[in-house]
Amino acid sequence: MSRVLVGVKRVIDYAVKIRVKPDHSGVVTDGVKHSMNPFCEIAVEEAVKLKEKKFIKEVVAVSCGPTQVTETIRTALAMGCDRGIHVEVSGKDYEAMGPLQISKIFAALAKKEEASLVILGKQAIDDDCNQTGQMTAALLDWPQGTFASEVTIDGEKVKVVREIDGGLETIKISMPAVLTADLRLNTPRYATLPNIMKAKKKKIANMKPADLGVDEPPTRLAGVKVETVDDLVAKLKANGTI
Amino acid sequence: MNINRLIALSKSVQFGKILTSNARHATKEVNLPHRTIRTHARNLAYAKDLFLGKVNKAECFPYPEIGNEELEEINSFVAPVEKFFTEEVDSKRIDHEAKIPPETLNGLKELGLFGIQVPEEYGGLGLSNTMYARLGEIISLDGSIAVTLAAHQAIGLKGILIAGSEEQKAKYLPKLASGEHVAAFCLTEPGSGSDAASIQTKATLSEDRKTYLLNGSKIWISNGGFADLMTVFARTEVVGEDGVKKDKITAFIVERAFGGITSGKPEDKLGIRGSNTCEVSFDNCPVPVENVIGEVGGGFKVAMNILNSGRFSMGSAGSGMIKKLIEMTAEYAGSRKQFGKNLSEFGMIQEKFAVMAQNAFVMESMAYLTAGMMDRPGVPDCSLEAAMVKVSDLLPIGCLIVVCVVVSKLNDGIGVLIGYAVVGEQGVQERTKHTPLRCPSVEDQRGGCVVAYPTPTLTNVFSSEGGWICVSEALQVLGGLGYTKNYPYERYLRDCRILLIFEGTNEILRMYIALTGMQYAGKILTGKIKEMKKGNVGVAFEMLGRKLGDALGRKVDLGLTGMDGVVHPGLADSAKKLEQNVAHFGSTVENLLYRYGKTIVEEQLILKRVADVLINLYAMTAVLSRSSRSISIGLRNHDHEVLLANTFCTDAFFKNNYWLTQLQRNSPENQDENIKKIAREVLEKRTYVCSHPLDRTF
């Protein structure tokens, strides 16, 4: 019946003091403690809860990145996911990757795995983009329930209570859909040591973005600084963007 | 040397952790589906052939490696446990209320921390000693929790694990591993603390020979207030081979449900206040005969084995605590300003950090070296034919034996050879794989000594004292703030004070270390071992001793450095210092044995120095082994490790020399006579003896 795809991202641990590299090219990541993005943990917890309530049959944890992300996938497995998918992207490609590429990968996977739900964290704590969920829904042309603080499955529909600027909004969307988890959705469980040991036996499949028909991320073009808003409008018109 | 005396002296109180070594292979190729926990330590018979210029695999070099898979596994365990401790454990509240909240205990049970070394088939995690030590680093963040868990699994249920029958294991381990039942270890009594062999609790066999009735009381029992299952030691009447009835100690599995058990009120302690400690009394408590662990009358051996090896985890626990303290304290020192400068710019503050860093480094190195040695599957390797060391049952598992043979070489002067062996269950197995080149023939051997390092105990003593000093220094850096309850330093200080007391007071452990170390010293390795057992130190030995004394000054080469050296050239200096110390130590010990003979057992001040030197020697070995590995594989920040290693070794070298000098005959540095005299006079009068400085006689 139903399969849920959960995206998990490996980020620098929230408690770590971030230090900038001496050449200012980025942040020090070598030897620094990494862990699962807190919002992704909440997403995993929600998916596992839905499985425990028997609304869905299988939870698949997905992560994109170099080999180290398998640790994060294993944590998701230890929290209760059934299997994992590791989309290998490494080195320069990984650094250039952004929400657009990720959502293309997720969209392709969602179709391939015939998922009824894709649950993601609302944003990652390293880049704070808050885009992947929305882009994925757009690419799939699926309804989206973002900033979810409560999720209930009602037959073929999903009732989502969303935390928005004005307060709480309740919507009903039909499946398949994309949800993004907000802070108060649930309290993620601890991956207990016995579960971690059991998780070792669960499978993690390996694939490349190319296998899913997703291109290499384009090299990012340099930007231009302008002085005034008028200049900006002029440049955008000249570009053909507006 | 009176073996029984050795036993009595070596008895420890309360907590000790057991070694249950695994058959897990450290190599990548062997992929065991699950670890099998051995109930007896495997025989790690392993004597190193270290002849001049040739080095074979020693027990200490290279530093133990674990497989990639195991490393990944350990790392995956560390994260959730750390997370739990930072988020769910309120140490301040636990200390204040003198209680661990039930939710926290439940969380620990669910995490699986109540059955870390219980085999998977009984519902535990089945982790190796190395992994246990690694988790110990995190669990030690809260002293009360650490002690509660240790009392439960490191000693409480260990008896069943290592000496229990299959029925006993199947019956009791699953509930213990899940934490549904909590265990406790009941050995100490009001009249028997360090002298544990003198316990008086009695177990009398009933008429129908089916039940034992337990009578007596135990004190200082951790988890005693709520433990469902206890390992209790009591005297039972045993008929010896000669038909004489004796009261020997037996170990029992006692369930609270049996009845007749009362627990006293919890003790109000200085530290580890969250851990429950109380008196437990047995009043005709019926224990079925099936619940005897091991043999009737064999309880002493069970206790010895339980209280051993697990000790090493104190090293990693201590280092975990100090590493955390360094972080917290460094933050403060880098931001607090006085006299216009940061605290971190002042020399005396900097010294404190250096001390803390060195101590953490040494503790880690010792702990993981010991754990690694115990985990390593027995690789039968070569040994010195001449070193037929018959190890008695009393040498603890994990004990490292160093064999030094003095050889006269025509051109090079006298060198000292070393063989290493680690004690397993069947003792040191002697197996010659091949005859090495330049093996000294029997005629060349002029004598030698064998020194045994009870490595877990060494780690224990160093870590408890190092931890105490470091916490105190860390508190000092924070000054007044460190003294308040708003910061955790005072709690860490109070919590770690117990480390020097329980599980064998450091005084007892030193005696044990020294006597174990010296028990085989002086053996002439050309086959006069039997003579040694009689305690007979012959005249010929005296001459050898003298020769050694002069000769060893000339040149010492234990093969640690040089072309085939196991130690990286960057550490060559420190390695040479270690070699010199070892040689000097060997000769000093022989001298002492010659001077005192059996009465050495009474000379505590001498044994104390011997123990201190031995501790330092092992520490230096661990540190050199670890840093050699770090350099060789290019571990991050290995330069810093080399710095720490060299600094520590130099420091230890000079300290050792001083102590060894004090141990020479008629040494002016040795004030033991005066010390004893002062003590005698004070203790006679049971008060301070001097007249008041303001007193007059006229």
Cα angle value A73/A206/A133 (rounded, 5°): 55
B87 Cα to chain A: minimum distance (Å): 11
Q: Are B401 and B365 in contact (CB under 8 A)?
A: no
- What pLDDT score does B395 carry? 54
Amino acid B448 reads G
Q: A190: distance to nearest CA of chain B, Å?
A: 6
Does the CB of A194 have a partner CB in chain B at under 8 Å? yes
Q: Does B113 touch chain A (CB under 8 A)?
A: yes
Whether residue A14 lies within 8 A of chain B, CB to CB, comes out as: no
> Could you count the other beta carbons within 10 Å of the beta carbon of residue A105?
27
Q: Say if CB B527 and CB B623 are below 8 A apart.
A: no
Sign, Cα dihedral of B436, B438, B443, B448: negative
Residue B570: CB partners within 8 Å, gap ≥ 6? B627, B631, B642
Give the residue-averaged pLDDT of B169-189.
95
Q: What is the mean pLDDT of residues B117-140?
A: 91
Interface test with B, best of A190, A195, A201 (most B CBs within 10 A): A190
For the stretch B642-676, pLDDT in tens is: 999 999 999 999 999 999 999 988 888 889 999 99
Distance of CA B21 to the CA centre of its chain: 15
**Lookup result for tokens 């408890």:** B464
Chain B, nearest residue to A194 by Cα: B112
**For A35, which residue in chain B has the nearest alpha carbon?**
B79
Burial class (CB in 10 A: 0-12, 13-18, 19+), B507: middle
CA dihedral B20, B22, B23, B26 (to 10 degrees): -140
Chain B hits for A192, CB-CB cut-off 8 Å, are 80, 110-112
ipTM value for the complex: 0.77
CA pair distance A207, B307, nearest whole angstrom: 51
- Alpha-carbon distance B72 to nearest alpha carbon in chain A (angstroms): 9
- Confidence (pLDDT) at B632: 85
> Chain B contacts of A35, Cβ < 8 Å?
79
Mean pLDDT within B168-184 = 95
Q: Which of B7-16, B241-250, B280-289, B309-318 has the lowest mean pLDDT?
A: B7-16
Which of B75, B107, B125 is facing A197, going by the closest CB pair? Answer: B125
Asked if residue B250 has pLDDT above 90, the reply is: yes
**pLDDT single digits (tens) A25-41:** 888 888 888 999 999 99
Q: How would residue B311 be classed by pLDDT, with cut points 50, 70 and 90? A: confident
Contact A143, A30 (CB under 8 A): no
The alpha-carbon gap from A198 to the nearest alpha carbon of chain B, in Å, equals 10
Higher pLDDT, B109 or B47: B109
Nearest Cα residue in chain A from B34: A197
Residues of B carrying an active site annotation: 503
Would an 8 Å CB–CB cutoff place B389 in contact with chain A? no
Residue B125 touches chain A, beta carbons under 8 Å: yes
Say if B106 is an interface residue toward chain A (CB within 8 Å): no
Please identify which residue in the block is written with the tokens 């757009």: A138
Q: Pick from B70, B109, B111 the residue to mutate for testing the A interface (most A CBs within 10 Å).
A: B111
Residue B583: predicted pLDDT: 76
- Cα B102 to Cα B88, B94, B98, B144, B172, distances in angstroms: 12, 11, 13, 13, 22
Evaluate if residue B186 carries a pLDDT over 90. yes
What confidence tier does B241 reach under pLDDT thresholds 50, 70, 90?
confident
Question: Shortest Cα distance from A127 to chain B (angstroms)?
Answer: 23
Mean pLDDT of B682-696: 93
Share of chain B above pLDDT 70, in %: 72
How high is the pLDDT of residue B544? 52
Chain A residues closer than 8 Å to B110 by CB: 190, 192
Q: Which residues of B touch A74 (CB under 8 A)?
A: 76
Q: What does the pLDDT look like over B548-595, one tens digit per residue?
A: 544 444 445 555 665 556 677 888 888 888 888 877 887 788 778 778
Please tell me the predicted confidence (pLDDT) of residue A82. 95
The torsion angles phi and psi of B286, rounded to 5 degrees, stand at -85, 125
Judge whether B640 is closer than 8 Å to chain A, CB to CB.
Answer: no
Nearest Cβ partner for A193 among B72, B77, B636: B77
Closest chain B residue to the Cα of A190, Cα to Cα: B80
Residue B17, token pair as written in the block: 């952790």
Nearest to A192 among B86, B111, B636 (CB): B111
Name the minimum distance, in Å, from the CA of B84 to any CA of chain A: 7
User: How sure is the predictor about B61, in pLDDT bands with cuts at 50, 70 and 90?
Assistant: low
Chain B CB contacts of A197 below 8 Å: 73, 120, 125
CB contact B82 to A (< 8 Å): no
Question: Which residues, including other chains, have CB under 8 Å from residue B546's CB and lie 6 or more apart?
Answer: none
- Rounded Cα distance between B205 and A90, Å, is 71
Q: Please, which pLDDT band fits residue B54 given cuts at 50, 70 and 90?
A: very low
Give the range among B70-79, B145-154, B333-342, B424-433 with minimum mean pLDDT: B424-433
**Structure confidence by residue, pLDDT tens digits, B229-239:** 999 999 998 88
More confident residue, B211 or B300: B211
Question: Is residue B546 predicted with pLDDT exceeding 80?
Answer: no
Residue B29 predicted with pLDDT over 60: no
Whose tokens are 């250039």? That residue is A96
A202 CA to chain B: closest CA distance, Å? Answer: 14
Instruction: List the single residue in B86, B112, B636 with the smallest CB-CB distance to A192.
Output: B112
> Residue B72: its chain A contacts at CB < 8 A?
71
- Best mean pLDDT range from B62-71, B305-314, B607-616: B607-616
Q: Which among A75, A78, A190 has the least Cβ separation from residue B84?
A: A190
A-contacting residues in B 508-527 (Cβ below 8 Å): none
| B76 interface with A at CB cutoff 8 Å | yes
Q: Chain A residue closest to B109 (CA)?
A: A192
Q: Rounded mean pLDDT of A176-197?
A: 92
Identity of the residue in B72, B80, B113 whose CB atom sits nearest the CB atom of A191: B80
What is the distance in angstroms between the CA of the first residue and the CA of the last residue of chain A?
Answer: 45
For residue B556, what pLDDT is reported? 52
Higher pLDDT pick, A23 / B431: A23
Provide, as residue numbers in chain A, all residues whose Cβ is less than 8 Å from the Cβ of B107: 190
Task: Give the pLDDT band of residue B345 (cuts 50, 70, 90).
Answer: very high
- C-alpha angle B305/B307/B312, rounded to 5°? 105
Count contacts between A and B (CB, < 8 Å).
Answer: 41
Q: Indicate the average pLDDT of chain B.
A: 77
Cα–Cα distance, B496 to B471 (Å, whole number) = 8
Rounded to 10 deg, the angle between the A99-113 and A132-140 helix axes is 50
Chain B contact set for A190 (CB, 8 A)? 80, 83-84, 107, 110-111
In this structure, of A7-21, B313-327, B450-464, B646-660, the range with the lowest mean pLDDT score is B450-464
Between chains, do A74 and B76 touch, taking CB under 8 Å as contact? Answer: yes
Contact at CB, A35 and B76, closer than 8 angstroms? no
Residues of chain B contacting A200 with CB distance shorter than 8 Å: 73
CA distance A23 to chain B (A): 20
A197 touches chain B (CB under 8 A): yes
Least CA distance to B635: which residue of chain A? A31
The alpha-carbon radius of gyration of chain A (Å, integer) is 19
Say which residue, B239 or A77, is predicted with more confidence.
Answer: A77
Per residue in B588-617, pLDDT tens? Answer: 887 787 788 778 888 999 999 999 998 998
- Yes or no, beta carbons of B76 and A194 under 8 Å apart: no
- Mean pLDDT for all residues in chain A: 91
| SS3 labels along B339-377 | CCEEHHHCHHHHHHHHHHHHHHHHHHHHHHHHHHHHHCC
**β-bridge partners, B277:** B222
Do B125 and A194 make contact, defined as CB atoms within 8 angstroms?
A: yes
Do B86 and A200 make contact, defined as CB atoms within 8 angstroms?
Answer: no
Interfacial A residues in 53-82 facing B (CB < 8 Å)? 71, 74-75, 78
What's the gap in Å between the CA of A158 and the closest CA on chain B? 32
- Residue of B83, B125, B636 with shortest CB distance to A193: B125
- For A114, phi then psi, to 5°, come to 55, 55
Residue B435 pLDDT greater than 60, yes or no: no
